[in-house]
Structure 1
Amino acid sequence: MKTLEQAHQEFNYDQLVQEQLVGQPNAVNAYIECCQRYVGLQKTALIWEGKNGESEQWSFEQLDVASAQLANYFKSSGIQVGDCIAGLLPRTPELLITILATWRIGAIYQPLFTAFESKAIEHRVLTANTKLIVTNAEQRPKLNHVEVKHILTVNAGTNLTSNEADFWQEAEQHSDQCEAVLRSFDDDFLMMFTSGTTGLAKSVPVPLKAVLAFKGYMQHAVDLREDDS
């Protein structure tokens, strides 16, 4: 049996990257790894079922188009590489599109739990210096007193504030072509937060190198396989 030291010496990190990812440690993008690499294979990427019986299927090709349009909206709103974009959304197709669009432009995705109330959201947004929040009509009232430069709302309706826009109206006005911004493994792509059970929640930035660990977990712990739905 090999010792831990022997196993460590034999571990080839560069080989692992080549086997698992399209990109390299100094030229990687989470959108490419999670979506673009599968475009053209005509595979189902998402099967969504809503709480009221709705059902949708999205291919990688459809997610590629929608995330490009949303990414171009983000850029038109002044979002820069390394900025934080938060999603205050339930598990809908718009949530996945938001995440992919954020990563596509080299920005950092910040999840906001829909059970949070305004104060918890405000603390996390201020701490992360979040530039834009994507939400829906149900969650939107929680942001009434949260200072953020841009709010993008799914099914926003007609009562829009000066810093607010409708998700699909804006996305569909933009090009479906958007080149992914390459980053390094040490650059952050997620902005998580601690629970805050013993004090205020603290930010936990996650670097792109974690993509390897996430993929390994899905393969070996969850046992996700290529033919799974």
Structure 2
Amino acid sequence: MRDYLSATSQFNYQHTVDAALDGDLTALNACVECCDRHALPGRIALFWEGRDGASATYTFSDLQDKAARLANFLLGQGVKKGDKVAGLLPRNIELLITVFATWRIGAVYQPLFTAFGPKAIEHRLSCSGAKVVVTDAGNRSKLTEVADCPTIVTVAGPKGQGVVRGDYSFWAELANYSAECEPVLLTGEDPFLLMFTSGTTGPSKALSVPLKAIVAFQSYTRDAVDLRPEDAFWNVADPGWAYGIYFGVTGPMAMGHPITFYDGPFTLESTCRVINKYGITNLTGSPTAYRLLIAGGDEFARSIKGKLRIVSSAGEPLNPEVIRWFADNLGVVIHDHYGQTELGMVLCNHHG
């Protein structure tokens, strides 16, 4: 088990929590809360694992530098406070750079799930009025079918693959801009995320998330998930959805804790590989994911038994069979948590 945080820079979540309790949420920036204030030398922000076994580690300082460069590019495109920037991106470093760059200039990040088809993407972009959409070579073709698509920034594949005439090339643009970009300060009521929720009737509807929600995201991550400095944390939920962006990115990173991204399909083999390679001790996911792992039976149990300290579940009802299997075969208890895109997590079985 690794201690990711130095003795002089333990969890700094109290900064925002104290401000909320004092009623002083009038000068906040989500990029500062989740990145800049943790950008100490060597402090790790992301462990990244690719589907082909490639891996990389990024620090908060890396993210601070690159997010500032992309922020300056966005400013050059006329993006300003309150404007929407959409991300149609897999779980790669470019996703975090896009999120933090958007927040740095007081704009609002809109996640787009990469499994969406063109019509679902078009509906969400039309509703949001996004000024810019950032995508990658694997998802770029979907945008050709989107009517009135905003400015497109594409993360190129090998030899520039995926970048269409008229696109901006992600990494080429970062190289053209300065890493000096002052964060735009907001109030706690200002939006920083734009989510879409299914509701009960009709198409998905837009939902603005206020900046003060970071306080709740930290509290859930600290108290319910019981994320500790010595934990290696992995939330397997996709950041294209609320649980992934709220509690796989915002909550832990606002606490200064590194996160884990696996850019590949969720399988028994990949899950065991990531848990063992990165020493994952604190795991969160959905009951569907856990049922898939249980189907691996003894193979799964032998591979990770004794590795996990705690496991959390959200997104759908957690059936008793999954709880019993994890307790009997892995010696770890899953705690079920309930929340909504509109509210965050509201009913939790706390580990802490």
* Fold agreement, TM-score > 0.5: yes
Paired residue type of 1:78:
G
Cα displacement string for residues 57-84 of structure 1 (whole angstroms, at most 9, x for unaligned residues): 0011111101011111111111111000
Pick 1 or 2: higher relative contact order, CA cutoff 8 A, min separation 6.
1
Deviation of 1:41 after TM superposition, in Å, equals: 4.7
Contact 2:153 2:168 in 1 (8 A): yes
Secondary structure of 1:153 counterpart: strand
Work out the CA distance in 2 between the residues paired with 1:131 and 1:95: 17
**Match for residue 150 of structure 1?**
151
Paired residue type of 2:79:
I
Identity of aligned residues (%): 49
Deviation of 1:172 after TM superposition, in Å, equals: 1.2
TM-score (norm 2): 0.58
Secondary structure of 1:144 counterpart: helix
| Cα RMSD, aligned residues only | 2.0
Work out the CA distance in 2 between the residues paired with 1:227 and 1:79: 39
**Match for residue 83 of structure 2?**
83
Work out the CA distance in 2 between the residues paired with 1:228 and 1:81: 35
Work out the CA distance in 2 between the residues paired with 1:65 and 1:165: 19
CA change 1:170–1:195 in 2 (3 A) is: same
Work out the CA distance in 1 between the residues paired with 2:19 and 2:186: 19
2:213 is equivalent to residue 210 of structure 1: yes
2:225 is equivalent to residue 192 of structure 1: no
**Match for residue 122 of structure 2?**
122
Paired residue type of 1:125:
L
Deviation of 1:226 after TM superposition, in Å, equals: 2.2
Cα displacement string for residues 181-225 of structure 1 (whole angstroms, at most 9, x for unaligned residues): 000001000000013674211001100010000001110111112
Paired residue type of 2:230:
D
Secondary structure of 1:18 counterpart: helix
Contact 2:136 2:154 in 1 (8 A): yes
Candidates 138, 145, 165, aligned match of 2:168: 165
Secondary structure of 2:79 counterpart: coil
Deviation of 1:18 after TM superposition, in Å, equals: 2.4
TM-score (norm 1): 0.87
Work out the CA distance in 2 between the residues paired with 1:26 and 1:16: 11
Contact 1:84 1:128 in 2 (8 A): yes
CA change 1:224–1:150 in 2 (3 A) is: same
2:64 is equivalent to residue 64 of structure 1: yes
Paired residue type of 1:65:
D
Moved more, 210-219 or 148-157: 148-157
Paired residue type of 2:172:
Q
Unaligned stretches of 5+ in structure 2? 1-14, 233-352
Work out the CA distance in 1 between the residues paired with 2:41 and 2:164: 39
Work out the CA distance in 2 between the residues paired with 1:16 and 1:45: 19
CA change 1:226–1:204 in 2 (3 A) is: same
Number of paired residues? 213
Contact 1:17 1:24 in 2 (8 A): no
Deviation of 1:161 after TM superposition, in Å, equals: 2.6
2:235 is equivalent to residue 221 of structure 1: no
1:169-184 pair list within 5 angstroms: 169-184=172-187
Deviation of 1:16 after TM superposition, in Å, equals: 7.0
- Runs of 4+ aligned residues of structure 1 deviating over 4 Å after TM superposition are none
Paired residue type of 1:155:
A
Contact 2:84 2:128 in 1 (8 A): yes
